[in-house]
């Protein structure tokens, strides 16, 4: 929505500017025209009045009066009412539009033109651009004083101005509509030109925010937006380098720790064999315990730094990022269950499996799915007291594969549930258990890297983790 609003707003602005201009222009034009034609109509009536006053009606019979009225009406193109001094109607020409011009000729030359009856002259001003309104008549009236107290009232003069006005208004409307539409289109195009690089920038920064540090804005321009894009790209590049260096450092450090640790553990193993007293043996075993803690820690750090490095990070041996394969989550779940079964049995924890018989193919990296399953099952077995159970299920739900690992363990304290996925976070109630607080951070990073999501529900009677992955 927000991405379109610039185009929409600019199009609307342009359109309203065009509309305003059109309204002002149209208003002035039509006003001037109306005034002009109003004066023209008055002048026409006055001129007609002079003409009639110059040819007063005869003082004869009714037929002569009627003929006069009709002749007057035809010659002035108005309706002529003739009144006597007392205001009594003497003659009415009828509407000039219905008068037969031929009759005027008859008045002069006697009768015999009956077949021309009904002939009409075309309207001088045409009938407007869109037809109709050709016979419009003015609503103005004018009294013309005549001799002997009689007077004529002129009305229904041709409203020539009206037709012209309507015509002009119609033309104006067409022109205004066209102008508004063109202006809106122009506004939209201009906005689109401005918005395209902005959209590209927005997309790049969105991708960046999602963790894809290789995102760059593709803007090939030299204006202000182009400069913004350039500086964004420079910033992104710097950030990527910094983050990569940091991650590489963590990964390298974990590597480097691995070698002396191997030597240390081997030496401690030898020392354990060489130990002659129980005291010596237990001391060496304690040292070995700490060494394997370090072991696990460096392995976890290495895994986490790899996961968070994302696709952009080539590993230390120069390998390239691998594409995800189609992996069967059901088979991996069975494998992971096998990996933890002995430990669970030895700890007196029942391991129950509910794994889909059919394959659950997902597009993911095998090692990362193994980390997810391994860490969740490890935790479940570790935090479940003897006599409890761990339930692993893998099934299809719509177009996703859903893995759940439920235990009857110690649970996660409610006030710590927000931070379980954090690095090195360990809940207060698990301080006595071995662990480094990286397991769930690895789970989350691995799941999200493979376009899945992980949630959990926990109470003091157990915890259930739920991993959803899109099926391939």
Q: Would you tell me which residues interact with another protein (CB under 8 A)?
A: 255, 258-263, 265-267, 269-270, 272-273, 292, 295, 298-299, 302-303, 306, 315-317, 319, 322, 334, 337-338, 341-347, 351, 353, 366-367
Q: Which is nearer to another protein, 176 or 287 (CB)?
A: 287
Q: Which is nearer to another protein, 352 or 451 (CB)?
A: 352
Residue 427 CB, nearest approach to another protein (Å)? 21
Q: Which is nearer to another protein, 236 or 351 (CB)?
A: 351
Residue 240 CB, nearest approach to another protein (Å)? 22
Q: Which is nearer to another protein, 183 or 369 (CB)?
A: 369
Q: Is the dihedral of CA 124, 129, 133, 139 positive or negative?
A: negative
- Residue 405, Ramachandran bin (φ over 0: left; ψ between -120 and 50: alpha; else beta): beta
Q: What share of the chain is helix, strand, coil (3-state, %, to 5)?
A: 60, 15, 25
Residue listed under structure tokens 């040819």: 55
Q: Which is nearer to another protein, 34 or 257 (CB)?
A: 257
Residue 262 CB, nearest approach to another protein (Å)? 4
Long-range Cβ contacts of 311-320 (<8 Å, 24+ apart): 311/212, 311/214, 312/212, 312/213, 312/214, 312/240, 312/244, 313/244, 313/247, 313/248, 315/251, 316/248, 316/251, 316/252, 316/255
Q: Which is nearer to another protein, 29 or 264 (CB)?
A: 264
Residue 287 CB, nearest approach to another protein (Å)? 13
Residue 345 CB, nearest approach to another protein (Å)? 5
Q: Round the CA-based radius of gyration of the chain to a whole number and report it.
A: 49
- Nearest-angstrom CA–CA distance, 117 and 294: 120
Q: Which is nearer to another protein, 148 or 342 (CB)?
A: 342
Strand (E) or helix (H) holding 400? strand 400-407
Q: Is 471 exposed, middle or buried (0-12, 13-18, 19+ CB in 10 A)?
A: middle
- Per the DSSP assignment, residues forming a β-bridge with 363 are 326
Residue 397 CB, nearest approach to another protein (Å)? 23
Residue 259 CB, nearest approach to another protein (Å)? 5
- Per the DSSP assignment, residues forming a β-bridge with 352 are 391
- Nearest-angstrom CA–CA distance, 469 and 472: 9
CA angle 75, 80, 85 (to 5 degrees): 130
Residue 211 CB, nearest approach to another protein (Å)? 21
List of residues 6+ apart from 299 with CB closer than 8 A? 254
Q: Which is nearer to another protein, 370 or 429 (CB)?
A: 370
Residue 263 CB, nearest approach to another protein (Å)? 4
Q: Which is nearer to another protein, 88 or 346 (CB)?
A: 346
- Nearest-angstrom CA–CA distance, 272 and 292: 14
The structure tokens listed for 170 are 């119609």
Q: Which is nearer to another protein, 27 or 260 (CB)?
A: 260
Q: Which is nearer to another protein, 342 or 453 (CB)?
A: 342
DSSP 134-201: TT-B---EEEEE-GGG-EEEEE--B-HHHHHHHHHHHHHHHHHHHHHHHHHHHHHHHHHHHHHHHHHH
Residue 257 CB, nearest approach to another protein (Å)? 9
Residue 188 CB, nearest approach to another protein (Å)? 51
Q: Which is nearer to another protein, 355 or 457 (CB)?
A: 355
- Nearest-angstrom CA–CA distance, 350 and 381: 9
List of residues 6+ apart from 435 with CB closer than 8 A? 379, 382, 426
The structure tokens listed for 67 are 């003929």
Residue 278 CB, nearest approach to another protein (Å)? 12
Q: Is the dihedral of CA 196, 201, 202, 203 positive or negative?
A: positive
């Amino acid at each position: 929505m927000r991405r379109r609003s610039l185009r929409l707003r600019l199009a609307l602005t342009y359109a309203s500017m065009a509309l305003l201009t059109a309204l002002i222009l149209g208003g002035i034009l039509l006003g001037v025209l109306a005034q002009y034609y109003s004066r023209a109509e008055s002048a026409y009536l006055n001129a007609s009045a002079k003409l009639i006053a110059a040819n007063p009606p005869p003082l004869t019979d009714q037929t002569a009066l009627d003929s006069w009225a009709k002749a007057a009406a035809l010659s002035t193109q108005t309706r002529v009412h003739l009144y006597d001094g007392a205001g009594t109607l003497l003659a009415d020409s009828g509407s000039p539009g219905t008068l037969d011009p031929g009759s005027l000729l008859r008045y002069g030359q006697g009768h015999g033109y009956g077949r021309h009856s009904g002939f009409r002259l075309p309207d001088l001003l045409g009938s407007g651009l869109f037809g109709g309104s050709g016979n419009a008549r003015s609503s103005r009236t004018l009294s013309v004083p005549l001799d002997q107290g009689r007077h004529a009232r002129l009305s229904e003069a041709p409203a020539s101005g009206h037709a012209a006005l309507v015509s002009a208004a119609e033309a104006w409307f067409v022109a205004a509509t066209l102008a508004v539409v063109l202006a809106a289109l122009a506004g939209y195009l201009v906005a689109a030109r401005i918005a395209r690089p902005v959209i590209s920038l927005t997309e790049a920064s969105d991708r960046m925010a999602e963790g894809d540090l290789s995102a760059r804005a593709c803007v090939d321009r030299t204006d202000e937006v182009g400069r913004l894009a350039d500086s964004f790209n420079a910033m992104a590049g710097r950030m990527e380098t910094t983050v990569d260096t940091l991650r590489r450092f963590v990964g390298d450090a974990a590597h480097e720790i691995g070698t002396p640790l191997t030597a240390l553990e081997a030496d401690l193993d030898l020392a354990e064999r060489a130990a002659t007293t129980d005291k010596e043996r237990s001391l060496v075993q304690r040292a070995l315990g700490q060494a394997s803690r370090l072991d696990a820690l460096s392995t976890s750090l290495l895994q986490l730094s790899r996961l968070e490095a994302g696709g952009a990070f080539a590993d230390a041996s120069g390998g390239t990022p691998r594409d995800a394969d189609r992996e069967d989550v059901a088979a991996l779940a069975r494998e992971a269950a096998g990996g933890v079964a002995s430990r669970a049995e030895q700890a007196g924890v029942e391991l129950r499996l509910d794994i889909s018989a059919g394959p659950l193919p997902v597009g993911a990296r095998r090692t990362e799915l193994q980390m997810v399953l391994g860490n969740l099952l490890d935790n479940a077995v570790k935090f479940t007291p003897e006599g409890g159970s761990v339930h692993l299920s893998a099934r299809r739900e719509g177009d996703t594969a859903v893995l759940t690992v439920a235990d009857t363990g110690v649970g996660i304290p409610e006030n710590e549930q927000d931070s379980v996925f954090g690095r090195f976070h360990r809940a207060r109630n698990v301080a006595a258990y071995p662990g480094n607080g990286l397991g769930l951070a690895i789970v989350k990073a691995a799941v999200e890297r493979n376009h899945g999501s992980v949630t959990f529900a926990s109470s003091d009677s157990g915890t259930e983790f739920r991993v959803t992955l899109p099926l391939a």
